[in-house]
Copies of this chain bind each other. A is one copy, B any other.
Amino acid sequence: MEYLQVTFRIEAGAGEASVLAESLLLEQTIETPLDVARRYPFVRDNMLGRILELAPETEDVVLATLELPLVNARLGVPQFLNVLFGNSSLHERVSLDSFELPPALAKEYPGPRFGIAGIRDRLGVHGRPLTCSALKPVGLTTTQLSSLCRTFALGGIDLIKDDHYLANQPFSPFRERVASCIMAVLDAATETGRRSVYCPNLCGTPDEILRQADEAQEMGVQAVMVAPMLIGLPMFAELVRNRLNIPVLAHPSFAGSTRIRPDTLQGRLFRMLGADAIIFANYGGRFSYSPGVCEAIAERAREPWHHFAPAFPVPAGGMQVERTAELIDFFGMDTILLVGGSLLAAGDALLEQTRKFTESVAEAASTRTR
């Protein structure tokens, strides 16, 4: 018998938590009274799972690790989520802490197809963090967006991504925007001798997303951005596996809506399904994640884990150029630094501000490798 190991965080004292863990075990397996299952030998011997450990974290919190029958967690992402945190998610005092994949399940998932090494090779950038900025605000015309894109490219940004609100709006249709931004980076490359990568955001109905993926690749796009929780994790997995031959940046939109530990959701689940770079809300920005949570996300993204290639962590969400050195110290070289609004705030001095950003990254990196 093989099992999926899932750790739930239960908000209760030791005694009550042990009762809750027993009911969670039934919830995530047979979902009937135990007597019913005992009547069927195959069910009794194969479907029950077991409680592996009850570890008190504080007086009011217990981490309960359950072993759940692997046979029910295979068969695609929805069924995996079902066993991982399906009905258990409906228990108010239960959240998903973490999970361990047995090798038999891990091998069903690709992980990042490019990851850190693949993205570095494609960009030809080694020995320093990559730089990234965003085309926004939503509401700009295609011409305005591609003009920003050209400026970022002239300023030396490695990855220029769409704002996550850019979809297929009438004021900037997807196809037109992609074509125009590709031209902008090519045009800038004739001046700088270095080509930036433009990453369009794929967003729409499942059919439209598949079409956008095809169109973008036909037009020569070298990376895309997708929000896995917006389009749904099963759809994200299938998109990566069946349609995309280029790296994928995962955007966190809608990801905070879950009661799943952020590094488990964004660091593990997104990576396992194929994210090559993981954008997350960094500490000290517009969001309230702590440095510890951000460090954990970066660790889950890069640590050795089955055959899954390491993915880039991309701290973001209100980052400032002035924090470059601090962020490199905190996250290390294998990081993509994303600065968006704080570049755009420079107005007419956008090119200078962009250069300041890319130069500060190069300088901080060279100091650290000397």
Interface residues of A (CB under 8 A from B): 23, 27, 29-33, 35-37, 39-40, 42-43, 46-47, 71-72, 75-79, 81-83, 85-87, 89-93, 96, 136-141, 144, 163-165, 167-171, 203-209, 227, 230-235, 237-238, 252-260, 281, 286-289, 317, 340-342, 344-345, 347
Q: Which residues of B contact A231 (CB under 8 A)?
A: 78, 232, 234
The answer to whether B203 and A137 have CB atoms under 8 Å apart is no
Interchain CB contact under 8 A, B40 and A78: no
Give which listed residue, B252, B286, B345, contacts A35 with CB less than 8 A. Answer: B345
Q: CB < 8 Å: which of B29, B139, B164, B257 contacts A260?
A: B257
Number of copies: 2
| A-B CB contact pairs (8 Å), 20 listed | A27-B286, A31-B164, A31-B340, A32-B344, A33-B341, A47-B139, A79-B204, A81-B253, A81-B254, A82-B230, A87-B164, A87-B253, A90-B255, A90-B287, A205-B234, A206-B238, A232-B235, A256-B259, A257-B257, A258-B259
**Are B91 and A256 touching (Cβ within 8 A)?**
yes
Which residues of the partner chain B approach A96 to less than 8 Å between Cβ atoms?
Answer: 257
Give the complex CA separation of A344 and B36 in angstroms. 7
Contacts of A235 on B, CB cut-off 8 Å?
A: 206, 232, 234-235
Report chain B residues within 8 Å CB of A209.
78
Residues of the B chain whose Cβ atoms lie less than 8 Å from the Cβ of A260: 257
Per the bound structure, the CA–CA distance linking A254 and B207 in Å amounts to 24
Is the CB–CB distance between A40 and B287 below 8 Å?
no
Which of B89, B253, B289 touches A82 (beta carbons < 8 Å)? Answer: B253
Q: Are B165's CB and A91's CB within 8 A?
A: no
Q: Which residues of B contact A39 (CB under 8 A)?
A: 347
* A254→B31 contact, CB < 8 A: no
Q: How far is the CA of A254 from the CA of B91 in the complex (A)?
A: 11
Which B residue's beta carbon lies closest to that of A207? B238
- Pairwise interchain contact A29-B253, C-beta atoms closer than 8 A: no
Contact, CB under 8 Å: A31 / B165: yes
Tell me the complex Cα distance, A7–B7, Å.
33
On whether the beta carbons of B168 and A287 are closer than 8 Å, the reply is no
Min CB distance A201 to B, Å, is 10
Contacts A164-B82, A165-B83 known; A71 to B170 CB distance under 8 Å?
A: yes
In the complex the two chains form, is A340's CB within 8 Å of B32's CB?
A: yes
Please name all residues of chain B whose beta carbon is closer than 8 Å to the beta carbon of A29 when the two chains form the complex. 137-138, 165
* CB within 8 Å for A82 and B23 given contacts A31-B137, A33-B341, A237-B205: no
A252's partner among B42, B90, B164 (CB-CB below 8 A) is B90
In angstroms, Cα B202 to Cα A82, docked, is: 12
Closest residue on chain B to residue A288 by CB atoms: B92
Q: Are A254 and B205 in contact (CB under 8 A)?
A: no
Q: In the complex, are the beta carbons of B234 and A72 less than 8 A apart?
A: no
Q: Of B30, B256, B259, which contacts A136 at CB under 8 A?
A: B30
Please tell me if the beta carbons of B137 and A71 are within 8 angstroms of each other in the complex: no
Residue pair A89, B137 in contact (C-beta under 8 Å) = no
Residue of B30, B92, B139, B258 touching A43 (CB-CB under 8 A)? B139
- Are A137 and B257 in touch, CB under 8 angstroms? no
Give the residues in chain B near A82, CB-CB below 8 Å: 164-165, 167, 203, 227, 230, 253-254
B-side contacts of A207, CB under 8 Å: 238
CB distance from A29 to the nearest CB of B (A): 7
A302–chain B nearest beta-carbon distance, Å: 21
